Structure 1
Amino acid sequence: MSLTIYLENEVPDLVSEEENAEIEQLIETVLQRASELEDEAGEVSVTLVDNEMIHQLNLQYRQVDRPTDVLSFALDEEGEGELDIIYEEDELEENGEIPRLLGDIIISIPKAKEQAEEYGHSFHRELAFLAVHGFLHLIGYDHEVEAAAQAMFARQEEILQSCNITR
């Protein structure tokens, strides 16, 4: 089982080239670890954006008229009939099956920086938290009710701590 991560930084001028490489490695590390611990494989897309873009998406898809830190759009096409996507043989899973499309995670770089400062921890810790938070949403976790929220946030902390990412 493995997780394929497609990362795109839509706002490279908000971070240095060196920091961008660190961000890519960080997101890869925490999402791979989350995938292992949750026993979830597939493909996920992560896009780093600015507040304006995430605000537009938040308004369009959630009818919330403000920027947010992270949005998740679950696809989970597993078992949903024919796919219109044609995969090359080298893109198939080791067992020859089509990869499970988990979905998209959109993270606001400016919001992550703002929240890191607000919560008194590093920007990288906040990015890792948001990436794991988005991933857990893609695989079915939610925080609409208190018990589910406690379970989700506890799992996030377990995953981050297993990567030696602490507050």
Structure 2
Amino acid sequence: MAIYFSAHEVKVGLKDRTRLKAFITELFRKEEQGLANLQYVFCTDEYLLQINQEFLQHDTYTDIVTFELSANPEITEGEIYISIDRVKENAENFGVSENYELHRVIFHGALHLCGYKDKTEKEEALMRKKEDEYLQLYFER
């Protein structure tokens, strides 16, 4: 099992990566979802827009795109692309630190891979609840 962080044409101030990797592993364990490999790619709005257009046929900016690559639904092998531009803008709009918003999006992607969706109001409410739960757990330690 491995979790990787990389950046594509952006700088990311992600501290304590070892602790974060252990926490993401714990998140998957708590959600009873197996984890083989997970790659986080931090990028620009433009790069993520290209991915969104090419693979999802969405012509909109977004903060995150998540791909499950495993054929086995019980074991995750995924890629999560996060726009640092959106993270910065969302942090300002929500009145939170960029670090807090970055972690929210990191956990949001992991929750998607654990089966959580956010297309309906009910799904979105549950997703927000789970994000808040994991953010509290992470930052209170």
Bin for the TM-score computed over the shorter chain: 0.7 to 0.9
Check the 8 A contact 2:76/2:113 in 1, yes or no.
no
State the match for 2:62 in structure 1: 68
**RCO (CA 8 Å, sep 6+): is it higher in 1 or 2?**
1
Q: Which has the higher strand share?
A: 2
Report the identity percentage.
Answer: 27
Unaligned runs of 5+ in 1: 80-98
1:100 positional shift: 3.1
Structure 2 counterpart of 1:143, one-letter code = D
Residues 141-165 of structure 1: CA deviation (Å, up to 9, x unaligned): 1011222222121111111111126
Calculate the aligned-residue CA RMSD, in Å. 2.3
> Aligned partners of 1:33, 1:163: CA distance in 2, in Å?
10
For the 8 Å contact 2:28–2:114, the answer to whether it is kept is: no
Q: Offset at 1:4?
A: 2.1
- 5+ residue gaps in structure 2? none
Give me the TM-score of the superposition, normalised by structure 2. 0.84
Residues 59-68 or 22-31, more deviating? 22-31
Count of paired positions: 139
Residue 94 of structure 2 corresponds to 119
Alignment partners' CA distance in 1, 2:99 and 2:25:
16
Q: CA deviation at 1:118?
A: 1.2
TM-score (norm 1): 0.73
Change (3 A) 1:11 1:31: farther
SS in 2 for 1:164: helix
Which secondary structure state, in structure 2, belongs to the residue aligned with residue 32 of structure 1?
helix
